[in-house]
């Protein structure tokens, strides 16, 4: 059916599954991660594998290592671990609805900003000393021995 025929019938043609009618038995891990839309580019997937951020069944994966149905892939993205089980092998990049059928996501949910610990409150006096604290420091320096003129030493440059 041509594009003009589809338009004449009242709408666009349905999206077809271009992932391949005969699914291969295995695919490279970098290609698979790219095709199921977990990384933006294949070179990014290759770089993640080379950096050691991708594991297949607990073993560090090289970019050319093959994955098959049932393998568990753990990879680190933006500081968080993702855990996926391969349900289907894809070697071509497909739309998001089709890509989601190729894996089962077992990743723990990312923490929300509300789950983060409270901001650290600075203790009083932790920054610049107050006038009272400065007098106490001066008195302490006076009792410990001759004062060294630090400004004089620094100005000798």
| Confidence at residue 19, expressed as pLDDT on a 0 to 100 scale | 52
Domain 22-111: CATH class, spelled out = alpha beta
pLDDT grade for 46, boundaries at 50, 70 and 90: very high
The rounded distance, in Å, linking the Cα atoms of 85 and 62 is: 18
Q: Which residues contact 25 (CB under 8 A, 6 or more apart)?
A: 68, 89
The rounded distance, in Å, linking the Cα atoms of 56 and 84 is: 10
Whether the per-residue pLDDT at 21 is higher than 50: the answer is no
Predicted confidence (pLDDT) per residue in 104-142, tens digit: 999 988 878 777 666 656 576 577 878 887 888 888 888
CA–CA distance from 139 to each of 6, 27, 36, 124 (Å)?
Answer: 91, 74, 69, 21
Burial-class residue 23 by CB neighbours within 10 Å (0-12, 13-18, 19+).
middle
CA–CA distance from 128 to each of 38, 142, 155 (Å)?
Answer: 48, 20, 23
Predicted confidence (pLDDT) per residue in 60-109, tens digit: 999 999 999 999 999 998 888 999 999 999 999 999 999 999 999 999 88
Q: Is pTM, for the whole model, over 0.95?
A: no
Predicted confidence (pLDDT) per residue in 49-66, tens digit: 999 999 999 999 999 999
- For residues 136, 141, 147, 151, the Cα torsion angle rounded to the nearest 10 degrees is -50
């Amino acid at each position: 059916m041509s594009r003009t025929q589809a338009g004449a019938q009242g709408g666009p043609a349905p999206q077809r599954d271009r992932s391949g009618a005969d699914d291969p038995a295995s695919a490279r891990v970098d290609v698979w991660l790219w095709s199921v839309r977990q990384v933006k580019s294949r070179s990014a997937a290759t770089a993640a594998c080379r950096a050691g951020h991708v594991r297949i069944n607990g073993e560090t994966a090289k970019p050319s290592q093959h994955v098959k149905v049932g393998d568990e892939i753990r990879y680190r993205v933006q500081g968080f671990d993702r855990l996926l089980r391969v349900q289907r092998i894809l070697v071509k990049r497909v739309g998001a609805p089709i890509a989601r059928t190729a894996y089962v996501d077992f990743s723990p949910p990312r923490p929300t900003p509300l789950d983060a610990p409270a901001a650290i409150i600075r203790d009083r006096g932790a920054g610049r000393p107050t006038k009272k604290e400065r007098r106490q420091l001066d008195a302490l320096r006076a009792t410990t021995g001759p004062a060294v003129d630090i400004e004089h030493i620094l100005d000798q440059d």
